[in-house]
């Protein structure tokens, strides 16, 4: 269903030119801590953080060997010029994009060497998920978006301070699953939400699941009529136990850590934080889908369904220890659990 | 069966006074006839007469690929005696603080029931050929799922479900008396079905293995994605600034995570529990067998999809965009 008559591309082109004139120098910080603290740690691939005011992304193939020894092919957005095979320097999930309130995003998609499906699901787009951009910047082919490379230009107001996402919107059932997703964070200094408190550290967690059959099927395949996830990820890592966490984050005692949950998975999920003695730690939800709650909610468990985001904050105790933030993925039918369906991370302080 | 007893000829014979024995017999028949008429849909004069029938739902092909057209058998509540079932069941409407009467006749060859979630508790089976009457009090405005609760979800999965919408009285365009106002209203009844393992098996009289459910078709108001995206009664089409009250009923067995493009919406109630403070969201997880109400205000012109953000739910048996979907069109 092409609705090309509603495609409004010319305005985008003009805005691109304007944005290019005023673009900030591109920053590429390989940090996880961000904010004031510069925390971070090891345990997984470090995801690049890019300034969305002037960034060019390509699409690349990336083969990952999973915990059971199986190889799975992913498609990811990578910083810079050409994509293609190999995926050198590319990550799963795709880079974090950051945009300040009042800034103009200028995100280019370069399709050179991009792996893709045959027609009619050829090409790729970038959909700024949760950012409520005009149709012309929305990256939806069925409402007129180009699938052959484009520049996405938009800005957002202060309501959007918090976590969002971006992903390819071509044949989304496959392309999202393939790994074409990343966090998109709207920033107002170190505020966790519009008008909310500041954090000392920020930790992005992109939630996703993998059904290997989706990675080889193409077109209108009946493979896409069912979903059988085998791998469960946080920031692209499996994190099967507290001893082998998907990611370890280090922060100072007594500080505030913002945790951004970005739900790009295809099943339900529940986020919780276990402390060193095994009990569930409370945390406070400030944002749902990147919009501030009028009353922040302090809970010990929060559901993040497919397509949702959530910004939560914890204040660390004054004495050193470790906490284990975890995501449990759940069946859409009855909330039933999956084997290896809980992904553990570790927060050292 | 009651209709057989009450054939016109027999009713006529009841009026004959001689001989005495015949009169007695006929009088008894008349009594039975009168009683039957009292409980029958015709004389009970219910607000709604529903008939459980069989029928089909037609899935249209993707205009992109030409794939996906199919006809699927369904069982449903219709408003035509002897009619053809479609999805969803007949819309029931009532006002806040009021009540409606519903008469349900089972024209299907197995037993069913009729339960309005949160409002009625009569789960008695209606045997084939029988009719049962219900009075439903509707103290609270909102949107309710009605369904057949028998047979371990099989009957609901085959299509025996619908929605009851309860509005404030007086035709006021508010979600409830004193609640948020709106310009237009929409009802989205969504469901999923597992054609090979549930629908086909149950429809041909087999026993469904209910421990396995892998739905491969997903419907919006009984339509596949491409049909729904072209349906004016489903889509949110209007002028910038207009607010839609969208009442959502998930009659299926899968939680559905509905993602709206264009702008965020306000969630005002979940399963008819009103939120003390409304929440801005762009994605709402409407769990299986629950309802929700959201306010979507058209903030900018353009065409935007609403779709489920979950793998197979974006498809109809793997055919892209033929799953749960709608369009948002702002002028």
d(CA B20, CA B105): 36
- The pLDDT, as a whole number, for residue B58 is 97
Mark which of A187, A217, A248 sits at the end of a domain. A187
d(CA B150, CA B113): 7
Question: Quick one: A226 and A312 in the same domain?
Answer: yes
> Do residues A203 and A249 lie in contact, with contact meaning Cβ atoms separated by under 8 Å?
yes
Nearest CA to B175 among B190, B163, B165? B165
A253 pLDDT higher than 50: yes
Whether A226 contacts chain B with CB within 8 A: yes
Question: Quick one: A223 and A247 in the same domain?
Answer: yes
Does residue A21 belong to any structural domain of this protein? Answer: yes
Taking CB atoms and an 8 Å limit, are B312 and A293 in contact across chains? no
Quickly list DSSP for B9-31: HHHHHHT---SHHHHHHHHHHHH
Quickly list DSSP for A194-246: TT--B-SEEEEEEEEEE-GGGGT--SS-GGGGS----EEEETTB---BTTB-S
Question: Quick one: A174 and A209 in the same domain?
Answer: no
For the stretch B27-51, pLDDT in tens is 555 554 444 444 444 546 899 999 9
Q: Which fold has domain B48-330?
A: Immunoglobulin-like (2.60.40)
| Long-range CB contacts (within 8 A, 24+) of B14-22 | none
Taking CB atoms and an 8 Å limit, are A306 and B315 in contact across chains? no
Q: Which of A294, A307, A332 sits opposite B254 (nearest CB)?
A: A332
Does residue A324 belong to any structural domain of this protein? Answer: yes
Nearest CA to B145 among B275, B290, B48, B294? B290
Question: Quick one: A17 and A159 in the same domain?
Answer: yes
- The pLDDT, as a whole number, for residue A89 is 81
Q: Which of B216, B281, B312 sits opposite A173 (nearest CB)?
A: B312
Output the pTM of the full model.
0.88
Does residue A38 belong to any structural domain of this protein? Answer: no
Average pLDDT, chain B: 90
pLDDT, average across residues A139-155: 97
A153: containing domain = 4-29+47-187
Q: Name the residue in chain B with its Cα closest to that of A211.
A: B311
CATH number of the domain encompassing residue A181 = 2.60.40.420
For the stretch B185-200, pLDDT in tens is 999 999 999 999 999 9
d(CA B238, CA B301): 9
Does residue A177 belong to any structural domain of this protein? Answer: yes
Does residue A196 belong to any structural domain of this protein? Answer: no
Q: Give chain B positions within 8 Å (CB) of A307.
A: 257, 259, 282-283, 309-310
B239 pLDDT higher than 50: yes
For the stretch A68-102, pLDDT in tens is 999 999 999 999 865 555 566 899 999 999 999 99
Does residue A144 belong to any structural domain of this protein? Answer: yes
Does residue A295 belong to any structural domain of this protein? Answer: yes
- The pLDDT, as a whole number, for residue A86 is 53
B226 pLDDT higher than 80: yes
Mark which of A152, A187, A222 sits at the end of a domain. A187
**H helix or E strand, kind and range, residue B228:** helix B225-228
Q: Name the residue in chain A with its Cα closest to that of B317.
A: A225
Does residue A39 belong to any structural domain of this protein? Answer: no
Question: Quick one: A170 and A207 in the same domain?
Answer: no
Torsion of CA A153, B305, A234, B312, to 10 degrees: -150
Question: Quick one: A221 and A182 in the same domain?
Answer: no
Domain count, chain A: 2
Question: Quick one: A181 and A270 in the same domain?
Answer: no
Beta-bridge partners for A7? none
List phi, psi (to 5°) of A85. -80, 160
Mark which of A187, A209, A244 sits at the end of a domain. A187
- The pLDDT, as a whole number, for residue A4 is 37
Question: Quick one: A225 and A343 in the same domain?
Answer: yes
Q: Give chain B positions within 8 Å (CB) of A211.
A: 311
Question: Quick one: A116 and A256 in the same domain?
Answer: no
Ranges for all domains in chain B classified under CATH 2.60.40.420: 48-330
Question: Quick one: A76 and A183 in the same domain?
Answer: yes
Question: Quick one: A64 and A129 in the same domain?
Answer: yes
- The pLDDT, as a whole number, for residue B22 is 44
Question: Quick one: A131 and A216 in the same domain?
Answer: no
Res. B16 pLDDT band, cuts 50 70 90: very low
């Amino acid at each position: 269903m092409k609705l090309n008559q509603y495609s409004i591309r010319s305005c985008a082109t003009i805005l691109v030119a304007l944005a290019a004139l005023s673009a900030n120098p591109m920053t590429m910080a390989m940090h996880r801590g961000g904010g004031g603290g510069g925390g971070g740690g090891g345990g997984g691939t470090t995801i690049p953080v890019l300034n969305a005011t002037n960034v060019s992304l390509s699409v690349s193939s990336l083969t990952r060997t999973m915990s059971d020894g199986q190889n799975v092919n992913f498609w990811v957005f990578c910083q810079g010029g050409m994509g293609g095979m190999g995926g050198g320097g590319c990550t799963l999930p795709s880079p974090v994009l950051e945009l300040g309130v009042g800034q103009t995003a200028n995100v280019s998609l370069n399709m050179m060497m991009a792996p893709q499906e045959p027609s009619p699901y050829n090409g790729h787009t970038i959909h700024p998920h949760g950012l409520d951009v005009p149709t012309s910047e929305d990256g939806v082919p069925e409402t007129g978006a180009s699938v052959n490379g484009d520049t996405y230009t938009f800005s957002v107001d202060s309501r959007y301070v918090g976590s969002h996402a971006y992903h390819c919107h071509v044949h989304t059932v496959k392309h999202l699953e393939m790994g074409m997703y990343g966090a998109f964070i709207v920033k107002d200094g170190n505020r966790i939400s519009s008008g909310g408190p500041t954090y000392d550290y920020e930790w992005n967690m992109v939630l996703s699941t993998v059904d290997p059959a989706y990675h080889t099927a193409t077109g209108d395949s009946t493979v896409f009529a069912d979903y059988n996830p085998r791998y469960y990820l946080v920031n692209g890592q499996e994190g099967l136990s507290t001893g082998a966490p998907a990611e370890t984050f280090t922060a100072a005692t007594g500080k505030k850590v913002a945790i951004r949950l970005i739900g790009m998975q295809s099943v339900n999920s529940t986020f919780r934080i276990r402390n060193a003695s095994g009990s569930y730690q409370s945390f406070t939800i400030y944002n749902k889908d990147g919009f501030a709650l009028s009353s922040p909610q302090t809970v010990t468990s929060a559901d993040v369904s497919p397509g949702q985001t959530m910004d939560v904050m914890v204040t660390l105790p004054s004495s050193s220890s470790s906490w284990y933030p975890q995501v449990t993925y759940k069946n859409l039918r009855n909330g039933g659990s999956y084997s290896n369906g809980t992904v553990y991370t570790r927060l050292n302080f | 069966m009651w209709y057989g007893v009450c054939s016109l000829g027999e009713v006529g014979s009841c009026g004959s006074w001689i001989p005495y024995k015949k009169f007695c017999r006929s009088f008894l028949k008349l009594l039975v006839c009168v009683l039957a008429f009292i409980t029958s849909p015709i004389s009970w004069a219910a607000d709604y007469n529903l008939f459980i029938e069989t029928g089909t739902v037609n899935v249209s092909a993707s205009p992109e690929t030409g794939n996906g057209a199919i006809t699927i058998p369904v069982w449903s509540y219709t408003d035509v005696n002897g009619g053809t079932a479609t999805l969803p069941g007949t819309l029931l409407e009532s006002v806040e603080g009021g009540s409606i009467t519903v008469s349900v006749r089972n024209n299907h060859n197995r037993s069913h029931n009729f339960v309005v979630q949160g409002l009625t508790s009569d789960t008695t089976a209606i045997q084939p050929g029988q009719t049962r009457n219900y009075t439903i009090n509707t103290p609270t405005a909102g949107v309710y799922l009605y369904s057949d609760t028998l047979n371990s979800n099989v009957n609901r999965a085959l299509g025996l479900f619908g929605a009851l919408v309860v509005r404030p009285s007086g035709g006021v365009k508010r979600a409830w008396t004193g609640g948020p106002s709106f310009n237009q209203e929409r009802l989205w009844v969504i469901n999923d079905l597992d054609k090979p393992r549930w629908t086909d098996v149950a429809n041909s009289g087999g026993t469904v293995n209910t421990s396995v459910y892998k739905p491969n078709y997903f419907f919006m108001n009984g339509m596949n994605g491409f049909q729904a995206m072209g349906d004016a009664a489903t889509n949110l089409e209007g002028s910038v600034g207009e607010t839609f009250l969208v009442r959502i009923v998930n009659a299926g067995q899968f939680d559905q995570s509905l993602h709206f493009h264009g702008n965020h919406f306000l969630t005002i109630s979940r399963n008819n529990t009103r939120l003390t403070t409304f929440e801005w969201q762009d994605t709402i997880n409407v769990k299986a067998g629950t309802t929700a109400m959201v306010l979507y205000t058209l903030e900018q012109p353009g065409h935007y999809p609403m779709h489920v953000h979950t793998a197979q739910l974006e498809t109809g048996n793997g055919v892209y965009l033929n799953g749960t979907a709608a369009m948002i069109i702002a002028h």
